[in-house]
Amino acid sequence: MRQPDDGTTHFGYERVSVGEKAGRVRRVFESVADRYDLMNDLMSFGVHRLWKRFALSQTGLKAGQQALDVAGGSGDLALGLAQQVGADGRVLLTDINAAMLGTGRRRMVDTGQADNIQYLQADAEQLPFADASFHCITIGFGLRNVTRKEAALASMYRVLKPGGRLLVLEFSHPVAPGLKSLYDTYSFHVLPWLGRNVAKDEDSYRYLAESIRMHPDQETLKGMLQTAGFGRCDYFNLSGGIVALHRGHKL
């Protein structure tokens, strides 16, 4: 979904200046960081774990390789990547939000898992890594919050090794017959209710519902991956298109 080139972008349904969006997204995730995992389980009835498991099945990673999880939040994907690359491999978990990155680090430390994960606060649009550093890059439920998605995709392409793949797991646009109206009702009534009563932050979960609607649909996002240079691009609709996994290769 191409936005007007007028120095503004969308924050949910609201138009804000490009410089303002990152700060507002940061405040959303600072507010929900402590209850992020609990809310994911409640909002998806636990199905987010199956979506992430499917994403991890598509990495193509081997023991000893290097992987990057962008906007990794509390670390579900990073943990799976770490298990795939093993003790001789390395996983970088990055997030632009210090509160979310701290949540992920504490979770790994508390559970005594994944000694091969390193943590770095980093902007997806300007990843601070050398060219061709990683065999696989994942970004789960983070791309829709990025201000300049094209810049983030280009940055991920740059740091991916030739032959490597990018996996973008993100809320998308329902394709199953009759699902859209049910999903809209759930998104704009149940999600804010959960936000108000569980996370104590109704506005952040209303933003979540709005940001999903403003995110590019499946074919548009596939085209964005191709424009960034990725080849053999495809996607898998999960749960009737509520979520999609996009896959692109650096040929």
CA-to-CA separations, 22 to 91, 106, 183, 218, in angstroms, rounded: 25, 24, 27, 24
Q: Look at the block and give the residue holding tokens 């789960």.
A: 140
DSSP state of 223: H
Tell me what pLDDT residue 113 has: 67
- CATH tag, 8-176+204-249: 3.40.50.150
Q: What's the whole-model pTM score? A: 0.92
Tell me what pLDDT residue 19 has: 81
Distance of CA 143 to the CA centre of its chain: 5
pLDDT by 10s per residue, the chain, length 251:
444 556 889 888 888 898 888 888 888 888 887 777 788 888 899 999 999 999 999 999 999 999 999 999 889 999 999 999 999 999 999 999 998 899 888 888 777 767 899 999 999 999 999 999 999 999 999 999 999 999 999 999 999 999 999 999 999 999 999 999 999 999 999 989 988 998 888 998 899 899 999 999 999 999 999 999 999 999 999 999 999 999 999 99
Tell me what pLDDT residue 218 has: 98
Rounded Cα gap, residues 23 and 77, in angstroms: 25
Tell me what pLDDT residue 236 has: 98
Tell me what pLDDT residue 5 has: 59
Q: Where are the domains of the chain?
A: 8-176+204-249
